[in-house]
Amino acid sequence: MIIDFHTHIFPDKIAKKTIELLEKKGNIPSFCDGTVDCLLAELKRADVDLAVTLPVLTNPASFESVNRFASEVNQRFANEERRLISFAGIHPLCDDIEAKMAWIAQNGFLGVKIHPDYQDTYIDDENYIRIISAAKEN
């Protein structure tokens, strides 16, 4: 089995704009348009069996919307040939980190994505330590 463990997808209505912003910020071209359908086509073309999608929260206010989309992806692929698994995302400035991490676990996510570079902080920030501790607890 071949697994691509680092992919990113977005809701269709924001995918194009989001990809453009990420390409500019990261100075890296995208190989896809950021949609589920494009990722599935690329997986098939490359003969990859499964992709793990990793949502990055660039601000704490996006916790609900980003994780709602991630949950929808997991639900869509739960009962058919499993092609995508989405992790949850969390930002170090989210309020009530412990409760949010418990929600992530209770909603069946297998992991959580943090990304210091895109979250404008460092991995040794005390809130990342709280996130990692809560992940261990859950």
Total-model pTM: 0.91
How far from the centroid of its chain's Cα atoms is residue 85's Cα?
9
Q: In the predicted model, is pLDDT for residue 80 greater than 80?
A: no
pLDDT 10s digits, 112-121: 999 998 899 9
Q: In the predicted model, is pLDDT for residue 124 greater than 90?
A: yes
How far from the centroid of its chain's Cα atoms is residue 63's Cα?
11
pLDDT 10s digits, 40-57: 999 999 999 999 999 999
Q: In the predicted model, is pLDDT for residue 122 greater than 90?
A: yes
